[in-house]
């Protein structure tokens, strides 16, 4: 049944895990995706653990270009070393894998750097068949196995036949819970609005984000806050460290301690492959992004400062 509670404030920390993105590259289910759902895993299945029998001796298609896909690909490679007949194909919608290959030794989170470096080595050594620029549109049966069709630069291409599919295509927030409320969200990412320009993975790969707290995480709906990975919407770069500071600030604000609430401190480990947030259109030079942070440091500082309402260094951007 439904229970109604009254509250002075509500903190939505419900995450995004229960809303995986579909296999279909356009954000809606690929044709056949529902029909063959029993052979599709979303996110990262436990390939070397409890799901081992599903993948051992089978051929799997991994779809996605994030860390989840990288984990799945590396696990399948390990499995293939010890289980005869195990094969896998890796396909990505985009063609630029710089974000997942990462900054290697320059990544301030060593494990993240290692993950990218390992998957890069696997792909570049031919240890996995990698098909980039493949936008999945349909799944069809092929004598009891599955063939996935996708749009590529050269027209429709088919991958397979495979036995199973791993859709590591990210997650999105479930906004149905709050549909009635006046929320201010980034129209593309469905993140809180202030963070959108700084975490858009199409523009920004640094992994850092300026310190932010209760002000950026609030909405026109008074007393309502979005925190945690849900505050990042569809952006894939959220770290627990960010969430801890978000929650501390929001809790302090609700308790009325505005000094503590506004004293937000956050230093995140950078990825080592930094591109600049494109927050506007500039003719040339500054703010054209993406560009190495060192080249465009003024604009990075400016964008960050503006996003948290703290002025900026004066770099001119037509927003």
Ligand X SMILES: Cc1cc2nc3c(=O)[nH]c(=O)nc-3n(C[C@H](O)[C@H](O)[C@H](O)COP(=O)(O)OP(=O)(O)OC[C@H]3O[C@@H](n4cnc5c(N)ncnc54)[C@H](O)[C@@H]3O)c2cc1C
Residues in touch with ligand X (CB under 6 A): 13-15, 17-18, 44, 68, 177, 228-230, 238-240, 243
Least distance CB 144 / ligand X (angstroms): 31
How far is residue 190's CA from residue 90's CA, in Å, rounded to a whole number?
28
State which residue, 67 or 164, has the beta carbon closest to ligand X: 67
Closest contact distance (angstroms) between CB of 5 and ligand X is 12
Minimum separation from the CB atom of position 281 to ligand X (A) = 32
Nearest approach, Cβ of 212 to ligand X (angstroms)? 15
- Considering the complex, state which of residue 146 and residue 229 has its C-beta at the smaller distance from ligand X: 229
- What is the distance between the alpha carbons of residues 21 and 171, in angstroms, rounded to a whole number? 5
> Which tokens hold the place of 67?
């860390």
| Spatial separation of the C-alpha atoms in residues 209 and 229, rounded to whole Å | 13
Nearest residue (CB) to ligand X, 18 versus 125: 18
Between 102 and 289, CB nearer to ligand X: 102
E strands in 196-242? 224-226
> Strands (DSSP E) along the chain, which ranges?
10-12, 40-42, 59-63, 87-91, 129-131, 135-142, 145-152, 155-162, 164-167, 224-226
The answer to whether residues 134 and 158 touch, using CB atoms and an 8 Å cutoff, is no
Pick between residue 88 and residue 238 the one whose CB is nearest to ligand X: 238
Q: Are strands 129-131 and 87-91 parallel, antiparallel or unpaired?
A: parallel
CB-nearest residue to ligand X: 228
Complex with ligand X: residue 60 or 178, whichever CB lies closer: 178
Closest approach of ligand X to the CB of residue 41, in Å: 13
Q: Sign of torsion, CA 285 288 293 296?
A: positive
Whole-number minimum distance, CB 2 to ligand X, in Å? 12
């Amino acid at each position: 049944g439904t229970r109604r509670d009254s509250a002075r404030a509500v903190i939505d920390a419900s995450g995004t895990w229960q809303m995986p993105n579909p296999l279909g590259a356009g954000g809606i289910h690929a044709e056949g995706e529902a029909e063959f759902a029993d052979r599709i895993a979303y996110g990262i299945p436990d390939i070397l653990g409890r799901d081992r029998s599903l993948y051992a001796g089978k051929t799997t298609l991994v779809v996605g270009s994030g860390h989840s896909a990288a984990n799945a690909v590396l696990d399948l490679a390990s499995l293939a070393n010890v289980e005869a007949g195990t094969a896998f194909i890796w396909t990505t919608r985009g063609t630029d894998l710089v974000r997942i290959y990462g900054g290697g030794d320059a990544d301030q989170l060593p494990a993240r750097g290692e993950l990218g470096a390992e998957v890069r080595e696997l792909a570049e050594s031919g240890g996995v068949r990698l098909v980039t620029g493949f936008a999945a549109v349909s799944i069809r049966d092929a004598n009891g196995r599955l063939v996935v069709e996708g749009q590529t630069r050269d027209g429709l291409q088919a991958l397979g036949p495979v036995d199973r599919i791993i859709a590591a295509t990210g997650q999105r927030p479930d906004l149905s819970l709050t549909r009635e409320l006046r929320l201010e969200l980034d129209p593309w990412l469905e993140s809180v609005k202030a963070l959108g320009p700084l975490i858009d993975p199409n523009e920004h790969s640094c992994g850092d984000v300026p310190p932010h707290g209760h002000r950026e995480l609030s909405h026109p709906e008074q007393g309502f806050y979005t925190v945690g990975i849900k505050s990042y919407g569809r952006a894939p770069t959220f770290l627990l460290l960010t969430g801890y500071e978000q929650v501390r600030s929001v809790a302090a604000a609700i308790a009325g301690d505005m000094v503590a609430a506004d004293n937000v401190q956050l230093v995140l480990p950078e990825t080592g492959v930094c591109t600049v947030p494109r927050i506007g259109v500039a003719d040339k030079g500054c703010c054209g992004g993406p560009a190495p942070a060192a080249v465009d440091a003024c604009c990075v500082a400016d964008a960050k400062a503006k996003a948290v309402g703290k002025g900026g260094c004066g770099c001119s951007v037509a927003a």
